[in-house]
Amino acid sequence: MAHQSLANPVETAIPANSGALRVSRRRFAAAAAFGAPALLRQPVGAAGERVVVIGAGIAGIAAAVDLQTAGLDVVVLEARNRSGGRIWTDHRWGFPIDLGASWIHGSAPANPIWRLCRDLGLRTVRTDWDDLVVYDVDGRLLSPSQSSTDAARYRSAYRKARRWGNRQLVDTSLQDGIDFAVRTRTFSPYDQRALDFRLNFEVEQDYGEDAASLSNWWYDQDSWLGGRQDSYLVDGYGQLVENLAKNLDIRLSTVVSSVAYGAFGVRVSTNRGVQQAAYAVVSVPLGVLKANRITFSPALTRAKRGAIARLGVGTLNKLYLGFGERFWDDREAIGFQSASRGEWSLWMDLEHILGEPILMALNAATFGKALESYSNQDTLDAAMTVLRTIYGRSIPDPQAAQITRWSQDDYSLGSYSHIPLGATGRDYRILSTPSADRLFWAGEATNRKYPQTVAGAYLSGQRAAQQILELV
């Protein structure tokens, strides 16, 4: 990779306009600019079969493509200065780094994202999550037999936790079930670290939330689309967005503040005026809906407001470290059994994918969110302390770094949805229900079968488009 100055290795890697990466957060004004009165008086008939899509993530883009292909007049409003939403491929190092979505979950034709990537000739590399080496808190490498024993103990506790939960008259957290499963065991500090590592690796990394908050009944009600094989997009997810969106009318830096809907159609108020149409597709992330960043008139139904309130938004953040040379294990994943669950517990080797000596740390749930309050330098220092515990004090400093802070990102306010205590899988379906046949909903949090995934978001956009096409 091109060597970068070590004077401030993290700061120099962070784009000036990158809200998700900056320590000094940019705050965007979201006040409505109501536009000319003449526009507000325009009858819906003049808008005809016009559709406003709110959000240029993969769900909004999928909806817009299908609607435009069917002959409708479509405009996409995007608050960011780029398309893609939580898909964000950065090229500042001279090769692609995915700051948001990285994997295709389900590498088979049943997955539409897999099919699209095949059709477009996008390169993928399959991820072997079993190609894992684990280190304890003191840097001791676990033997394969020890690691296998720890994994088997975790699986046994996990099965007991789920069986216990299913017997309860009310929902409990997954952590409640785990605590019950191991209640009669004498746990050494090592045993606790090993259990915590596995629970974070197997569950919390996937759902972006602590086991103590996840519903034991419902948290994993989602389905697999195209099998359980994950694949990494070598050249970045951004290529897919660019190909799908190339013929769309996307208005960037357009922040939606309110949406009015009724017999007249829809009126979408933004910082750049008002858009009027017959229908709107709302594809903003769940975190934005939970924060009430968009006002709806009339108010959304009690059922929909309840679903938004009950569903949770998790956190998964990445730290990319670029080095001059490789010093780590020749394995796809490196685990670290930290003193506190989930702290720098998972590292991915990207050299075999990108051909460059890069490590990626994945931090999820409580620690992933807490890490967002660290300064760039403190984040880097904490990461390097762990790497030097594992590989020795003589390893080099990184030459560049990229940090994400998705829970602080104004236009996502989190990474992806999950089902906490008090919610059920039905809440995804409630959120997906059209509002007065004027507002149609898309995004991963509106797909009950495939939430948390790019494929789920894409399919939800196609569903919203089809719902509109059935009315015109």
Same domain, 278 and 221: no
Per-residue pLDDT tens over the stretch 108-154: 999 999 999 999 999 999 999 999 999 999 999 999 999 999 999 99
Per-residue pLDDT tens over the stretch 240-292: 999 999 999 999 999 999 999 999 999 999 999 999 999 999 999 999 999 99
pLDDT band with cut points at 50, 70 and 90 for residue 187: confident
Q: Stretch 33-50: mean pLDDT, rounded?
A: 40
Token representation of residue 93: 């190092």
Same domain, 215 and 76: no
Residue 48, pLDDT score: 54
Q: Stretch 92-100: mean pLDDT, rounded?
A: 96
Q: Stretch 324-343: mean pLDDT, rounded?
A: 98
User: Can you give the CATH number for the domain in which 350 is found?
Assistant: 3.90.660.10
Same domain, 304 and 183: no
Cα separation values, 123 from 85, 216, 236, Å? 21, 37, 9
Same domain, 15 and 50: no
* Residue 373 CB neighbours (<10 A): 12
- Number of structural domains in the chain: 2
- Contact 17/401 with Cβ under 8 angstroms? no
Cα separation values, 131 from 118, 128, 134, 147, 331, Å? 25, 6, 10, 12, 6
457: pLDDT strictly greater than 60: yes
Q: Which own/partner pairs from 158-162 qualify as long-range (CB within 8 Å, at least 24 positions apart)? A: 158/199, 158/202, 161/216, 162/216
Does pTM surpass 0.85?
yes
User: Can you give the CATH number for the domain in which 268 is found?
Assistant: 3.50.50.60
Per-residue pLDDT tens over the stretch 159-179: 999 999 999 999 999 999 999
Looking at every residue in the chain, the average pLDDT score rounds to 91
Of 408, 436, 454, which residue sits at a domain end? 408
Instruction: Tell whether 273 is covered by a domain.
Output: yes
Per-residue pLDDT tens over the stretch 390-440: 999 999 999 999 999 999 999 999 999 999 999 999 999 999 999 999 999
Q: Scan for tokens 């034709």, then name that residue.
A: 109
Same domain, 257 and 298: yes
Phi-psi region of 139 (alpha: psi -120 to 50; beta: other; left: phi over 0): left
Instruction: Tell whether 220 is covered by a domain.
Output: yes
What angle (nearest 5°) sits at the alpha carbon of residue 83, between those of residues 22 and 317?
40
pLDDT band with cut points at 50, 70 and 90 for residue 27: very low
Class of residue 5 by CB neighbours under 10 A (exposed 0-12, middle 13-18, buried 19+): exposed
Instruction: Tell whether 113 is covered by a domain.
Output: no
Q: Stretch 83-107: mean pLDDT, rounded?
A: 97
Same domain, 385 and 356: yes
Instruction: Tell whether 415 is covered by a domain.
Output: no
Q: Stretch 21-40: mean pLDDT, rounded?
A: 26
- Range of the structural domain that residue 294 is part of: 37-87+235-310+420-469
